[in-house]
Chain A
Amino acid sequence: MKKILVIDDSSSVHAFVKYCFHGFDVTIQSAYNGEEGLLFVQQEHANYDLILLDWEMPIKDGPSTLPEIMKHNSSQTVLMMTSKSSEENISQMINMGASEYIMKPFTKDIILGKTFPFLGFDYEIAN
């Protein structure tokens, strides 16, 4: 069972991500801002296979959350999932340690295609 943490302030994004992974061997934990996300990350035995991180959120946004996640676990796989989509935005987060970048809006095939290589799933077969 793979574990994904979704950090995003929109409940509809959480619902859509859950819908996309429905039927796969995946469990999804929801956090609604960076601070809440970090609490989950820092829990003992958290071990998330993947973190999906939004940019714009109240309390603590994505760019200030990502370095703290990486500080806690430098090999943590984090994928940005945001409507900020300029080349500068993308470069900034990749340089800060994000493994991939998903631009909103996205479709089910896009999120599965972007995340499956990190989860060790075969996208071609699943698709």
Chain B
Amino acid sequence: MKLQTDDIRFFANYIESQLGIIYQEDNYFQLENRLVEIARIFDVKTPQDLMTKAKSGISGQFKQVLLDVATNNETSFFRDTKVYKNLETTILPELIRDAKINKTDLNIWSVASSSGQEAYSISILIQEISQKMAMPQVKIYSTDISERILKKAASGKYSQLEVQRGMPTNMLLKYFSKTEDEHWQIKDEIKNRVEFKVLNLKSDPYLTLKFDLILCRNVLIYQKVDAKADILKRLYFCMKPNGYLLMGSGESMLGFDNPYIQEINEGIAYYTKTKKIPAVAA
């Protein structure tokens, strides 16, 4: 199936109007691949049929699938190993210590976490750290615009291909069980720490809790600058005074006004509200 550029543009405009996600013409091939996938899901044989179906009104299940597929990047556990290493050895222990001193819960928000790999990776790190130090109450909130993808995330069940993306084998054996239908089920001790909620970053009210760590990685790359600045400002108000915001490794806040202070920790950029005082060696 081959789609004309104008047809792809029709879908790109629709996705932008609904989600604020922009597909530049350079990335049309990516959208085209996803449209072909949608055509397969709906058993549509030709590009003309897909266009007819779309132009007669995008609604119901077709709309949900289109928005899901448009936002559903291939994702992996522990994506960017250096970041997770730094979180495990430096940032999370610091936040855990702060939470214990302040007698507060440790709240983490995985923004637009798709099928849950990011939230569960963090939950596994927390589990590993909990074997080395006493923990406060930890809650991980995982939000996404897509109800379908969140249902999958909440199930904690992954295919053989999915668990092989980023999940080391020793962790797989420790925190997953194989199911009869050849999938892998994440264990309750990891799953119970994570709560899932549908949330549109552009239009819904944000979570009212204050967060120690907000992961907003590779989420805003397709947003226009003003939408991006607006989302980041709203996230700022969700952070605790000592909290951190983490973006994707290729992302930054350059080019627009923002209230954050950038802190570099072992080469990884974090965004904070207050300048951290470096620890002094005894």
Contact = CB atoms under 8 A, between A and B. Distances in A.
A85 B172 CA distance: 12
A124 interface: yes
B168 interface: yes
Interface residues of B, number: 19
A100 B168 contact: yes
A103 B80 contact: no
Contact of B178 (A85, A94, A105, A107): A85
Contact of B161 (A86, A90, A107, A114): A107
A113 B165 contact: yes
B178 A87 contact: yes
Contacts of A124: 80-82, 249
Q: Is the interface of A mostly helix, strand, loop or mixed?
A: helix
Interface in B168-218: 168-170, 172-173, 177-178, 182
B74 to A, nearest CB: 8
Nearest to A100: B169
Contacts of B172: 90
A48 B1 CA distance: 44
B258 interface: no
B164 A110 contact: yes
B166 interface: yes
B64 interface: no
B92 to A, nearest CB: 20
Contacts of A29: none
Number of chain A interface residues as a range: 20 to 34
Given A85-B160, A114-B164, A90 B80 contact: no
B30 to A, nearest CB: 15
B262 interface: no
A123 B77 CA distance: 13
A64 B220 CA distance: 50
B76 A113 contact: yes
Contacts of B160: 85, 103
A106 interface: yes
A87 B173 contact: yes
Interface of A: 85-87, 90-91, 94, 100-103, 105-107, 109-110, 113-114, 117, 123-124
8 contacts: A85-B160, A85-B182, A86-B178, A87-B173, A94-B169, A100-B169, A102-B164, A106-B164
Interface of B: 74, 76, 80-82, 160-161, 164-166, 168-170, 172-173, 177-178, 182, 249
Given A85-B178, A106-B164, A124-B81, 20 more contacts: A85-B160, A90-B172, A94-B169, A100-B168, A100-B169, A101-B169, A102-B164, A103-B160, A103-B164, A105-B161, A106-B161, A110-B161, A110-B164, A110-B165, A113-B76, A113-B165, A113-B166, A117-B81, A124-B80, A124-B249
